[in-house]
Structure 1
Amino acid sequence: MAIAPVRRVALLGGGFSDDEDGLLDGWVLAHARTLRPRVCFLPTASGDAPAYVEKFRAAFESRTDCEPSVLPLFRREFDDAALRSYLLAQDVVYVGGGNTANLLAVWRTHGVDQLLREAYNRGTLLCGISAGANCWAEGSHTDSFGPLTFLPDGLGLLPGSVCPHYTTEPGRCPSYRAAVASGKLPPGWAVDDGVGALFTDGVLVEAVTRTRVAQLYRVEPDGHGGADEHALPCRPLGTSPVNPG
């Protein structure tokens, strides 16, 4: 009997774009299905910003534990068949930060949303930071429209909602809690900068931190018009795993 692929999503509060030590990126690669995974960077949310792409290349092309590549969509290089073959051949898809709403719109225009869903069901590890974390959930907390607000839209591969930069950016915490309390966003996960959270079939299986201060939070309505915030244990990177609770 064939073994079903493991379906995984990782939310990142950092990585090559802001962490010089590479700890979170190394943690992601360690969860790939192969020892030397193919890693595709999707910089769509930043409009395929050249500086962002170069930062990815500088960080990942120097590693010996992966085979990195970049998929631009604003100057698309593949036809539909080649695009599908390329994405389904990846072991890790790493999505960069930027504008979540624009990211989703561009992906849908090119059919990338459906290809990523297919890749996920085949065992490709999907991950990303900021907009690249928001996109996998049913909804998210975002500044895509200027002021911080809720976006009840996403690929829905991860049940619930996501809020990045939870305690780092002013206003994130109260705004996200209010959106969850009012039902404008479903209960979800608030990610501090420095945290990584791994989900299998939508269930949290590991949470890590590179700072020993940053945390992952579960935020849910409290039944009285507010929201409960529950900090979850995070394993400092470099130590043994802990039960995420």
Structure 2
Amino acid sequence: MSDVPPRRLALLGGGFSTEEDGLLDDWILGHARTPRPQVCFLPTASGDAPAYAERFLAAFGPRPSCVPSVLSLFGRTLDDPALRAFLLAQDVVYVGGGNTANLLAVWRVHGVDRLLREAYDRGTLLCGISAGANCWAEASHTDSFGPLTALSDGLGLLPGSVCPHYDSEPGRRPSYHAAVAGGALPAGWALDDGTGALFTDGLPTEAVTRAPGARVYRVEPDEAGDGVHERALPSRDLRAAPEGGR
């Protein structure tokens, strides 16, 4: 039996910042490696907005099933060894939304990109919404620079590209289709709001939804080379009777 833990990350189309039912957050906690996981929120993409951190703590603090914390890099207090020790001690790292390009730049200045790769290899579950979903892939569809565009940058832990807000923001779907069809972005994963997708060692292992009709999609260039093939992943409805997450 191998002692190497599975490397897992989850893309979220919702959670505490957009929904009140907590279904997607409960789903994440159900996949943590311990019964009472340490869960760290990184609000870097929002510039460490205090209200965002407060909302996370208000949602996760009352849960007896986890130990929440927030890591601020704009007001950083930990030196390099302490920062590494803190991040590697987390069972779940939850990344918030905001500006994907800014997020990646700040992480690299502080070495957080390298630490998250190390945590991932050690079995920490990485997850996030919007920019916090984009960051894990090789590339993403983002409005970091204003208009929707292809960003050929990311941590590269998930092969391909990611497009969040697939069904809720005007222009997302056609713009992502055009980017994938034209080669500006590699094939990838598109998330409707209210969904989640779990990947293990880079492969999809579960998709879930908490909203009627919301799905996670695989989007690839079609064989003709002038369009895309879009396929919805089979999804488990989190509003139905719960299943064991472990």
TM range (shorter): over 0.9
Match of 2:24 in 1: 24
Match of 1:98 in 2: 98
* Secondary structure of the corresponding residue to residue 198 of structure 1: strand
Distance in 2, matches of 1:217 and 1:101, equals 23
Match of 1:57 in 2: 57
* Secondary structure of the corresponding residue to residue 141 of structure 1: strand
Gaps of 5+ in 2: none
Match of 1:123 in 2: 123
Distance in 1, matches of 2:196 and 2:136, equals 14
Distance in 2, matches of 1:240 and 1:16, equals 21
Paired residues for 1:118-197 under 5 Å: 118-197=118-197
User: What residue identity is the alignment partner of 1:219?
Assistant: V
Superposition deviation, residue 123 in structure 1: 0.1
Q: Deviations over 1:154-180 (max 9, x none)?
A: 000000000000011000000001100
User: What residue identity is the alignment partner of 2:175?
Assistant: S
Superposition deviation, residue 187 in structure 1: 0.2
User: What residue identity is the alignment partner of 1:232?
Assistant: L
The answer to whether the aligner puts 1:68 opposite 2:45 as a matched pair is no
Is residue 216–residue 232 contact of structure 1 (8 Å, CA) maintained in 2? yes
Match of 2:222 in 1: 222
CA RMSD across the alignment: 1.3
Give the TM-score, by structure 1 length: 0.96
Distance in 2, matches of 1:90 and 1:39, equals 6
Is residue 38–residue 68 contact of structure 1 (8 Å, CA) maintained in 2? yes
Distance in 2, matches of 1:240 and 1:143, equals 37
Distance in 1, matches of 2:237 and 2:77, equals 40
Distance in 2, matches of 1:124 and 1:212, equals 30
User: What residue identity is the alignment partner of 2:58?
Assistant: A
Task: Give aligned-pair identity as a percent.
Answer: 74
Match of 1:234 in 2: 235
* Secondary structure of the corresponding residue to residue 217 of structure 2: strand
Superposition deviation, residue 228 in structure 1: 1.1
* Secondary structure of the corresponding residue to residue 214 of structure 2: coil
Gaps of 5+ in 1: none
